[in-house]
Amino acid sequence: MSGAPDSLAILVLGGGGREHALCWRLAQSPRCRRLLCAPGNAGIAEEAECVALAITDPAAVVEFVTEYAIDLVVIGPEAPLVAGVADALRAAGVAVVGPSQAAAELEASKGFTKDLCAEHEIPTARFRRFAGAADAHHYVAVHPLPVVVKADGLAGGKGVTVATTNEEGLAALAEIQGPVVVEQCLVGPEASLFILTDGETVRVLPSAQDHKRLRDGDEGPNTGGMGAVSPSPRLTPALQKQALERIVLPTLAAMKARGTPFQGFLYAGLMLTAEGPMLIEYNVRLGDPEAQVLMMRLESDLVELLWAAATGTLASVEPRFSSDAAVTVVMAAKGYPWNPVVGTVIDGLAAAEALGVKVFHAGTRRTEAGRLVAAGGRVLNVTASGHDISEARALAYAAMRKINWHGGHFRRDIGKSA
Ligand code: AMP
Ligand code: GLY
């Protein structure tokens, strides 16, 4: 069936909940001989050897991979991709999951993606690009409301303002360094579509949806994601098909025609408008915490799947996912997303997992005395499956009651609207 060798040394780049979920599934494969993760975290250390490495330095990654005779590299976050780490690895003959620097422009530059959409009639909000805030000033001052003001480059999810007054738009603009994109405001529920491609074959993953706002009821500031569910109750198979055919496949075709084919995971953030799905943005990686619920539902061998994606043989591998639903709830450190308080002690994970959940670690580390402590903003992802979202949700929250951590907070309504 698949041509994946049966004894691979694999390196995962990243150290969050997404990478823990990937490492967890990779380590379960009989084809995985050795698993390393840079930098990893305290939870990943239970599945993989965690190593220190400058993961956004292409030469350093190639040197490490050569020294450790790594067969396959899986790149979790966008920063190494945007820095050209996948290009350097491919040039060195190493199998890698993740797009080239040129293809990572889909995430690294909103202006690039908007121009591509315009050129190929891919549905997205009407927009104008500006070289800098000063050039955009008049346009934002008189734009019909609401007006959406975005930094063109990577901003860790913080570069977007949906302004309901022109003054608010101008204030957002004043914060932006470098190129700017100003957009029409789209209305509708949001949904995400994930695919994996080797550059030719496209495998659509189950739908998943994160909860971006900090507080219950979708209140408070945007975060990296406070929880996720899969399947997404909003992205029906019909809408998913439309989004694939009108947005994702034309994008992949356009990237190929430019001579910069996309390989790896592509995440399309969509607005489900009255006129159909429209593209909000691309990410050139799996979502975090969406990967956690997708990996919870994955039934087939992840090494086989990722090896196929990395070696142009995805046509021979069809991933299988459980029909069960999955829910993940993020436990974040107090003060997240502004000033997370780190160093607080966490206990009770074994008792939580005894109920049948998987607790993925995001920002954790072990002290010299062996205590588990918070070491980042998002700290734990309590992940459960069930026949439907409400069953998975009930299990996740029941398990969370076993976790003893006074330094954390979490949303109580993940998956509730489903
Ligand atoms: P982005 O970083 O581009 O995903 O934007 C972050 C969030 O801003 C999205 O998840 C949407 O909630 C919102 N957003 C971005 N662009 C638009 C738009 N054109 N219309 C309405 N909301 C938007
Ligand atoms: N959960 C949103 C992201 O990974 O960008």
pLDDT band at residue 3 under the 50/70/90 scheme: low
157 CA: nearest ligand 2 atom: 5
* CB of 106 closer than 6 angstroms to any ligand 1 atom: no
Whether residue 407 has its Cβ less than 6 Å from ligand 2: no
| Nearest CA residue ID for atom 12, ligand 1 | 190
**pLDDT (0 to 100) of residue 221:** 86
If you take atom 4 of ligand 2, which residue's CA is the nearest one?
Answer: 287
| Average pLDDT estimate for 357-381 | 97
Tokens of 329: 């709830």
Q: For residue range 237-296, what is the model confidence (pLDDT) as tens digits? A: 999 999 999 999 999 999 999 999 999 999 999 999 999 999 999 999 999 999 999 999
Protein residue with least CA distance to atom 7, ligand 1: 160
Q: Which fold has domain 9-97?
A: Rossmann fold (3.40.50)
Ligand 1 within 6 A of CB of 160: yes
pLDDT in tens, 258-275: 999 999 999 999 999 999
Place 157 in a pLDDT band, splitting at 50, 70 and 90. low
Q: How far is the CA of 280 from the centre of ligand 1 (A)?
A: 6
**Which of 22, 290, 294 most suits a substitution to test ligand 2, by most atoms within 8 Å of the C-beta?**
290
Verify whether ligand 1 is closer than 6 Å to residue 269 (CB atom).
yes
Q: Tell me: the pLDDT tens digits for 24-71? A: 999 999 999 999 999 999 999 999 999 999 999 999 999 999 999 999
Q: Where are the domains of the chain?
A: 9-97, 127-184, 188-316, 325-409
- Give 289 Cα–ligand 2 centroid separation in angstroms: 7
Q: Which fold has domain 325-409?
A: Glycinamide Ribonucleotide Synthetase; Chain A, domain 4 (3.90.600)
Which ligand is nearest the CA of 269, by number?
Answer: 1
Mean pLDDT of the chain: 95
Assess whether the C-beta atom of 77 lies below 6 angstroms from ligand 2: no
How close is the Cα of 136 to the center of ligand 2, in Å? 28
Cα 162 to ligand 1 centroid, rounded to whole Å: 7
> Per CATH, is 188-316 categorized as 3.90.1150.10?
no
Question: Is 98's pLDDT higher than 70?
Answer: yes
279 within ligand 1 shell (Cβ under 6 A)? no
pTM: 0.96
- In the reported structure, the alpha carbon of residue 158 is separated from the centroid of ligand 2 by a whole-number distance in angstroms of 12
Instruction: Check whether 411 has a pLDDT greater than 70.
Output: yes
Q: Which ligand is nearest to the CA of 287?
A: 2
- Distance between CA atoms of residues 50 and 47, nearest Å: 9
| Closest protein CA for atom 19 of ligand 1 | 185
**CA 123 to centroid of ligand 1, rounded, Å:** 14
Q: How far is the CA of 160 from the centre of ligand 1 (A)?
A: 7
Taking the CA of residue 283 as reference, the ligand 2 atom at the shortest distance is 5
CATH of 127-184 given 3.40.710.10, 3.40.50.300, 3.30.1490.20, 1.10.10.10: 3.30.1490.20
Ligand 1 probe mutation, 150, 158, 162, most atoms within 8 A of CB: 162
Q: Say if residues 182 and 200 touch (Cβ distance below 8 Å).
A: no
The proportion of the chain whose per-residue pLDDT surpasses 90, expressed as a percent, equals 94
Q: Whose CA is nearest to atom 2 of ligand 1?
A: 157
The pLDDT tens digits of the residues spanning 204-236 come to 999 999 999 999 999 998 898 999 999 999 999
Ligand 2 center from residue 12 Cα (angstroms): 18
263 C-alpha to ligand 1 centroid (Å): 25
pLDDT of residue 1: 45
